Structure 1
């Protein structure tokens, strides 16, 4: 049996154009699964019940918080995209590759999975430990594709902070999940149909 040699492992920088659609989706689903697992483990080690995190509260005010934040973010994003040159807010084409040509049902499913997984980790687990400010710094850093430009980095930080704030205000993870879902879904649909025209 041949011995495995760690020194023979080589990493190669790959651009988004060098990844086919299948590999991109596998990567996306795998990272979201890892995000969810880390979030659930973190919550478990905080001696909290992850199922209680997803309990649906009485009333619908939490949904209004999520819808309101999503609406505000979309308006701000559309204004930025209208008045700021495209190269300043470029993410390297990742969002375009994820959503372009994707069926509407798949955009909805992707947006929901991303919202639940990321909010479980960042708002449900990390924010509980280090607060909304440092969680937002970490959230912006994790979205590495935006770090080349200060406008999208600042926008991601601000959105994350706002998601953390509505989580505190409503006391339920569903408010930031709804906001995150709507933001990703609407922006994904805009990318898809803009590219179709």
Structure 2
């Protein structure tokens, strides 16, 4: 299979399902559309599993020092993310977000578990394969599979990060996150580094959102 196809399919599937989810009202024929998130994450996880053998860059191990660096970057991005929400830092208005509470304000912990699992385990794999492994290298060199990540230049880093930012309502936070994850990929030459950092950011963001009730960040 084409290296571009196998790195783009899970991401494209996720975006298509996200668009479909956005077109549906809060309730459709009595179905709580919040349960579309685990369906969406599950389908993307299935696509990743089917295509896993093609992701050769995920067969390498990450040294402990790079694991620690990735953890630190993930935490820094999280701190910035929850503070970069001023009006000019957004593309539109922050809505109510993904709110897992019922009419009485009680949290549905199964919804929370699916949300955090999808955001911390599925999304980082899907997005880093697309944005860093494919796009960031492809901008630098169309024959991207032969490119050592250390050879990625500033132009490719900024272009991929800017496009990554457009994907997010919080464009400034998204830009900084894209630059941080992209830099990690270049610095470590290992895709697991940005995946781990991304997973830490998303996982801890989920914990923060649940603890504070700031559902808008979801």
Task: Bin the TM-score by the shorter chain.
Answer: 0.5 to 0.7
1:50 has 2:55 as partner: yes
Tell me the TM-score normalised to structure 1 length: 0.67
Residue 208 (structure 2) aligns with: 190
**Aligned partner (choices 158, 163, 182) of residue 133 of structure 1:** 158
- Find the aligned partners of 1:125 and 1:142 in 2 and give their Cα distance: 16
**Aligned partner (choices 131, 141, 162) of residue 122 of structure 1:** 131
C-alpha spacing 1:174/1:16, structure 2 compared with 1 (3 Å):
farther
C-alpha spacing 1:129/1:33, structure 2 compared with 1 (3 Å):
farther
- Find the aligned partners of 1:133 and 1:101 in 2 and give their Cα distance: 39
- Find the aligned partners of 1:132 and 1:170 in 2 and give their Cα distance: 14
* SS across alignment from 2:190: coil
C-alpha spacing 1:113/1:56, structure 2 compared with 1 (3 Å):
same
Unaligned runs of 5+ in 2: 1-19, 102-106, 140-155
- Find the aligned partners of 2:181 and 2:109 in 1 and give their Cα distance: 27
* SS across alignment from 1:93: coil
CA contact (8 A) 2:128 2:191 kept: yes
For 1:134-192, what per-residue CA distance to the aligned partner results, in whole angstroms no more than 9, with x for missing partners? 2112222233xx1xxxxx11110110111001110011111101110010001111112
CA contact (8 A) 1:63 1:175 kept: yes
For 1:31-86, what per-residue CA distance to the aligned partner results, in whole angstroms no more than 9, with x for missing partners? 5666x59xx69xx9xxxx622344113x31211221111121122234446xx47x
- Find the aligned partners of 2:176 and 2:127 in 1 and give their Cα distance: 16
Unaligned runs of 5+ in 1: 1-10, 147-151
For 1:9-33, what per-residue CA distance to the aligned partner results, in whole angstroms no more than 9, with x for missing partners? xx99736734622223323444566
CA contact (8 A) 2:71 2:200 kept: yes
CA contact (8 A) 1:96 1:191 kept: no
CA contact (8 A) 1:66 1:166 kept: yes
- Structure 1 vs Structure 2 CA RMSD: 3.5
Residue 76 (structure 2) aligns with: 72
- Find the aligned partners of 1:122 and 1:93 in 2 and give their Cα distance: 27
* SS across alignment from 1:163: helix
Aligned residues: 165
C-alpha spacing 1:52/1:188, structure 2 compared with 1 (3 Å):
same
- Find the aligned partners of 1:73 and 1:97 in 2 and give their Cα distance: 24
Residue 122 (structure 2) aligns with: 113
Tell me the TM-score normalised to structure 2 length: 0.61
Residue 4 (structure 1) aligns with: none
